[in-house]
Amino acid sequence: METHSLTSSYSPARGVHLDRITWLLCGLLGVLLLAVYFPTLKWTLQVLLSSDDMAHGLFAPLLAAYIVWQKRAAILADPAAPNVWGVVIIVLAGIAGVIASLGTSSTLLRFAFMASLAGCIVLAGGFTALSRLRFPVLLLFFAFPIPQLLYAEMTAPLQSLATLLSKQVLEIVGFSVVREGNLLELPHYHLSIVEACSGIRSLLTLAFFCVLYAYFLEQKLWQRIMVVALSVPSALLLNVVRITATGVLGEWRPELTHGIYHEGLGWACLALAFALVLFFRWALHGGLGYVNRRLESSR
């Protein structure tokens, strides 16, 4: 049979030779990709190092590399299947990169880099390789700063929401509060809800942690989606708790609302927000399990 003859004609040496060509292609594409987008990557790194909102972004490439290394056996187990569609993706990404350079759009340049990275993977290993690497590739988006226009659109309503909810909580616990825009005036302390207090930082960082938790520790897709979705209300809720605690401390001991104490409070609330996500996840999972048991017992 024809299939038998094809199998019997396989040469181990030829397979090793193809592997070497694949590795050489991957190395060449990697060097070219870094060379072309080096200014963009350098600028992105500078933003990550200088922005408090994107501190988590420094860990995204490291964790992506770790995940690739962890999955190396599964990736190398598949025979290399270079796909010419990778060239098409790279060319289209290159065109987008040129347009972004002419328009001085750093955001579009970063998307062009990601598209070029995907094209290089397809060219070297086919769409199967891209499918296996989709999570570490998508994780790299956490290393990209939010575009300024989108950042402004997000922070303004979050500031207003945080101010409104914090005012209500402070009044519930017994404080007299007057709101003027994003400023809360307590009897002995003035609390300004600036952009850094909008909650966007804790939201991005918590979402990053939840994505990693869902990937490593959750098995079902709906559970992963649930964990990531729970990061939004948890981050917003604990941001209100942080602002309220700052107001209470300002009335009691104002020196505790600045410096290392303020930063420590932020990190403590972030840890509590993550614990709240896990609690909600446990409660929902237990509730669904209880409903399923009741349905099965009623049959």
Per-residue pLDDT reduced to its tens digit, 185-222: 988 888 888 877 788 888 999 999 999 999 999 988 98
What is the arrangement of strands in the sheet containing 190-192, beginning at the earlier edge strand? 178-180, 183-185, 190-192
pLDDT, tens digit, for every residue of 41-97?
A: 999 899 888 887 788 899 999 999 999 998 888 777 767 678 889 999 999 999 999
Residues 270, 241 contacting (CB under 8 angstroms): no
Position 9 scores a pLDDT of: 37
Look-up of token digits 């070297």: 124
pLDDT bin (cut points 50, 70, 90) of residue 8 is: very low
Residues 86, 122 contacting (CB under 8 angstroms): yes
Mean pLDDT rounded to a whole number for the chain: 84
Residue 188 vs residues 89, 170, 194: alpha-carbon distances, Å: 60, 14, 19
Pick 146 or 89 by higher pLDDT. 89
Residue 33 vs residues 26, 86, 194, 234, 252: alpha-carbon distances, Å: 10, 13, 39, 38, 55
What percent of the chain is predicted at pLDDT more than 90? Answer: 39
Compute how many other C-beta atoms are within 10 angstroms of the C-beta atom of residue 126: 19
Model-level pTM?
0.82
